[in-house]
Amino acid sequence: MKELKMYVNGEWVDSKNGESIAVHDPSTGKQMASLPRGEQADVDEAVQAAKRAFESDEWRKVKPFERGRLLYKIAGRLERDRDELANLESQDVGKPLSQGYADIDAAIRYFEFYAGAADKVMGETIPIEDGLLDYVVREPIGVTAHIVPWNYPIQILSRSVAAAIAMGNTVVVKSAEDTPMTACRIAEYVDELELPAGVFNHVTGYGSEAGAALSRNPGINQLTFTGSVATGIAVSKAANENVVPVTLELGGKSPNIVFADCDIDKTVDGVVKAIIQNAGQTCSAGSRLLVEESFKEAFLKRVVERFKKLKVGPALADEDIGPILNKRQYDRILEYLELAKQEGNVLVGGKPADVDAGGCYLEPTIIDGLTPNSRLAQEEIFGPVLTVFTFKDDQEALKLANSTEYGLVAGVWTKDVSRAHYLASRIDAGQVFVNNYGAGGGVQMPFGGYKKSGFGREKGWIALYNYTQVKNVAIRYE
Ligand code: NAD
């Protein structure tokens, strides 16, 4: 069993209180590692180390292209250890192995993408008047804090940390207490690179302790939080007390809108994958199927057939669906399934899956017959549970699509180009996909929420600006 350490100021450390947290393998329920239970004092030390590193000439003098090279080196190590890391991520989160590979590949791409960007974010000059030179530079912000959830640990860490370092900031990461394994590996790569001590720090611990301490720490200059709405509000309030900019990447209840003129084979495939990925424990899961009324019977029949064939099993067996993260999440989903029996029709699934491996497994589930304002239609279930609604025309489809407090992602499935463009322009979501869902997760595409799915954007070029602040300099020379 691994005894994990935090990485603070270039050193491998335990928490000051000497306590640890057990990390479990979701597939078996068995303990796979122990993790330092970091608290305020540990976080303070990490933030101070990041602050000293940021203010040091040692880091300031690293040229932008050299920062890029450091990031390329991390990408290279991820690539070198791809098999080991995919297995580790798959085991730690409980996601089917092939999805573990996809996550490592995405992490590699984040480091590569932001490595290439490190020396390409430029300023501008502004014409004011003769004798006055006005220019704008984008400077790093300082100590950036990154609070990461348990469902896509390495991807979510990589996307914000790579962008922050590319822009010359220093970093304190708080990984999720359930899934810290790959973050510890990233710390090992940083350690091998001999970056100035304190540029990258990784603290571990419970959200209410280490996470809360980081979000309210007066030494941080920026906060990127990915997680639930409730926690997002709490961390945002804490950071606001210190007047610190925040990027919030929160939950979703994303619709897949299916019209009768779609390509049925591709659409069934897209709709099913969108809800079963990572056992539905995905912020952008396509958890609501909105289908044109006249097409419902034919389409749903195909989706139900597919659901019945899906296999559930331990992560490394690489079936279609792995275990639910832990008993707490599992019980939460079971409560929703109980409600489903009272308020709707369970077309398939709705109960624990028959997998005798020790973890918590659920059958993929489809629920029909719900009213659009019911809890099951409105709340993020975070499990392999698809809810179904029908519409008669574009307007009703739009109304339903926009009827929750979330607005992360939406899918539109139709061959009618005008309708696709019209809906894309009217849907409240940070990403709209037409005749696909997720576009393979492209690291280049801005990602983030409308409404309570958050604010600010991760991924793509635009995310670099989260990690810079703008300075205008006006020079009178005449
Ligand atoms: P969570 O909010 O419980 O935890 C997220 C992180 O915050 C963890 O590291 C946790 O330890 C920490 N935390 C918990 N309480 C805290 C507090 N009081 N102060 C500071 N930090 C605290 O979320 P989760 O259950 O880990 O993740 C699932 C949620 O994340 C879902 O709602 C999902 O939709 C969302 N999510 C969003 C995105 C996105 O990019 N939009 C990506 C993945 C997950």
Q: How much of the chain exceeds pLDDT 90, in percent?
A: 99
Residue reference for tokens 């990690």 = 467
CATH number at residue 332: 3.40.309.10
Retrieve residue 226's tokens. 């990915």
DSSP state for residue 196 in the 8-state scheme: P
Indicate if 290 and 424 belong to the same structural domain: yes
227 lines ligand 1 (CB under 6 A): yes
431 lines ligand 1 (CB under 6 A): no
Report if residue 448 sits inside a domain.
no
Q: Per-residue pLDDT for 439 more than 90?
A: no
**Mean pLDDT confidence for 118-126:** 98
Q: Per-residue pLDDT for 440 more than 90?
A: no
Tally of CA atoms within 13 A in the half-sphere of 315 that contains its CB: 25
Centre of ligand 1 to C-alpha 322, Å, is 20
In this prediction, residue 64 carries a pLDDT of 98
| Residue of 151, 173, 203, 231 with the most ligand 1 atoms within 8 Å of its CB, for mutation | 231
176 lines ligand 1 (CB under 6 A): yes
Distances (CA, A) of 421 to 336, 411, 412, 415, 418: 35, 12, 10, 11, 5
Q: Per-residue pLDDT for 283 more than 90?
A: yes
Report if residue 350 sits inside a domain.
yes
State the total domains in the chain. 2
| Residue of 202, 220, 228, 443 with the most ligand 1 atoms within 8 Å of its CB, for mutation | 228
Report if residue 449 sits inside a domain.
no
Beta 2-3 vs 31-36: how paired, if at all?
A: parallel
246 lines ligand 1 (CB under 6 A): no
Instruction: List phi, psi (to 5°) of 136.
Output: -120, 130
396-427 per-position pLDDT tens digit? 999 999 999 999 999 999 999 999 999 999 99
Q: Per-residue pLDDT for 194 more than 90?
A: no
Report if residue 447 sits inside a domain.
no
68-87 per-position pLDDT tens digit? 999 999 999 999 999 999 99
Distances (CA, A) of 156 to 175, 259, 358: 10, 33, 28
Nearest-atom index, ligand 1, CA of 447: 40
Indicate if 282 and 375 belong to the same structural domain: yes
Q: Which domain holds residue 192?
A: 2-250+455-474
Instruction: List phi, psi (to 5°) of 376.
Output: -65, -25
Indicate if 340 and 466 belong to the same structural domain: no
231-244 per-position pLDDT tens digit? 999 999 999 999 99
Smallest Cα–Cα separation from 107: which of 65, 149, 79, 148? 79
Indicate if 275 and 404 belong to the same structural domain: yes
Q: Per-residue pLDDT for 1 more than 90?
A: no
Identified catalytic residue from 89, 177, 209, 249 = 249
Centre of ligand 1 to C-alpha 102, Å, is 21
103 lines ligand 1 (CB under 6 A): no
Q: 145, 170 in Cβ contact below 8 A?
A: no
Nearest-atom index, ligand 1, CA of 176: 9
Centre of ligand 1 to C-alpha 228, Å, is 5
Indicate if 66 and 123 belong to the same structural domain: yes
460-478 per-position pLDDT tens digit? 999 999 999 999 999 999 9
211 lines ligand 1 (CB under 6 A): yes
Nearest-atom index, ligand 1, CA of 149: 26
Q: Per-residue pLDDT for 107 more than 90?
A: yes
d(CA 66, CA 60): 11
Indicate if 413 and 467 belong to the same structural domain: no
* Residue 249 annotated as catalytic: yes
Per-residue DSSP letters for 101-161?
A: HHHHHHHHHHHHHHHHHTTT---EEEEEETTEEEEEEEEE-SEEEEE--SSSHHHHHHHHH
316-352 per-position pLDDT tens digit? 999 999 999 999 999 999 999 999 999 999 999 999 9
**Mean pLDDT confidence for 29-45:** 98
Q: Per-residue pLDDT for 441 more than 90?
A: no
Indicate if 19 and 69 belong to the same structural domain: yes
Distances (CA, A) of 458 to 14, 113, 151, 272, 448: 31, 13, 16, 26, 6
Indicate if 317 and 171 belong to the same structural domain: no
In this prediction the pTM is 0.98
Q: Per-residue pLDDT for 166 more than 90?
A: yes
Report if residue 157 sits inside a domain.
yes
Indicate if 73 and 204 belong to the same structural domain: yes
Nearest-atom index, ligand 1, CA of 150: 26
Report if residue 126 sits inside a domain.
yes
CATH number at residue 230: 3.40.605.10
d(CA 285, CA 410): 9
Report if residue 145 sits inside a domain.
yes
Indicate if 196 and 316 belong to the same structural domain: no
Query: How open is the CA angle 143-194-52, to the nearest 5 degrees?
Result: 30
Indicate if 52 and 71 belong to the same structural domain: yes
294-309 per-position pLDDT tens digit? 999 999 999 999 999 9
403 lines ligand 1 (CB under 6 A): no
Closest residue to atom 42 of ligand 1, CA basis? 283
